[in-house]
């Protein structure tokens, strides 16, 4: 008896699933809904436990929203700082004598740097200053 070879089979490698280490709000909500759907009807989840989980979900959502807003503010600060290039900014600089108040200065912005620790740095003709020090722009 002869066997006729009909064809070949090819197995495509399956893409690896990315395993998330963090629990985002969608995963948290799916987990809560699954927990509710699969709970024992004769012994449902305690109201206090449910309210605690809803409070955790609400807190998670608020933290995510706050992080998003902070990221937007950082981008806005960077855009604002770049617009200062070629302009004169006013700022306070500490005086050499600590007993004296800070001195109001003005300087031309030459460049802008974004530093992870210091934030937005303006390079001026009088030295580097932080964006937070700026009190006016001309």
3-state secondary structure the chain: CCCCCCCCCCCCCCCCCCCCCCCCHHHHHHHHHHHHHCCCCCCCCCHHHHHHHHHHHHHHHHHHHHHHHHHHHHHHHHHHHHCCCCCEEEEEECCCCCCCCCEEEEEEEEEEEEECCCEEEEEEECEEEEHHHEEEEC
Examine the domain organization and report whether 91 and 108 are in the same domain. yes
* Domains contained in the chain, number: 2
Examine the domain organization and report whether 74 and 96 are in the same domain. no
Contact (Cβ atoms closer than 8 angstroms) between residue 133 and residue 121: no
Structure confidence at residue 34 as a pLDDT band (50, 70, 90):
confident
Whose tokens are 């089979």? That residue is: 9
> To the nearest whole number, what is the mean pLDDT of the chain?
80
Examine the domain organization and report whether 33 and 75 are in the same domain. yes
Q: How many CB atoms lie within 10 A of CB 129?
A: 20
Decide: pTM greater than 0.75: no
pLDDT at 3 over 60: no
Contact (Cβ atoms closer than 8 angstroms) between residue 125 and residue 108: yes
Rounded distance, CA 106 to CA 93, Å? 10
Tens-digit pLDDT profile for residues 110-124: 999 888 888 889 999
Examine the domain organization and report whether 55 and 98 are in the same domain. no
Whether 6 maps to a domain, the answer reads no
Rounded distance, CA 15 to CA 25, Å? 25
Examine the domain organization and report whether 55 and 93 are in the same domain. no
Of 78 and 113, the one with more pLDDT: 113
Whether 42 maps to a domain, the answer reads no
Determine the structural domain holding residue 59 and report its residue range: 25-37+47-80
Examine the domain organization and report whether 117 and 72 are in the same domain. no
Of 53 and 104, the one with more pLDDT: 104
Whether 4 maps to a domain, the answer reads no
Whether 8 maps to a domain, the answer reads no
């Amino acid at each position: 008896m002869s066997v006729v070879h009909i064809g070949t089979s090819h197995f495509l490698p399956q893409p690896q699933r990315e395993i998330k280490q963090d629990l985002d709000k969608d995963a948290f909500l799916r987990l809560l809904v699954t927990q509710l759907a699969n709970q024992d009807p004769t012994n449902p989840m305690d109201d206090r436990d449910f309210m605690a989980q809803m409070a955790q979900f609400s807190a998670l959502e608020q933290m995510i929203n706050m992080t998003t807003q902070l990221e937007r503010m950082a981008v806005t600060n960077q855009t604002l700082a770049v617009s200062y290039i070629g302009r004169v900014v006013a700022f306070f600089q500490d005086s050499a004598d600590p007993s004296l108040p800070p001195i109001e200065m003005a300087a031309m912005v030459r460049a802008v740097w974004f530093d992870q620790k210091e934030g937005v740095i303006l390079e001026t003709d009088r030295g580097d200053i932080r964006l937070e020090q700026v009190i006016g722009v001309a």
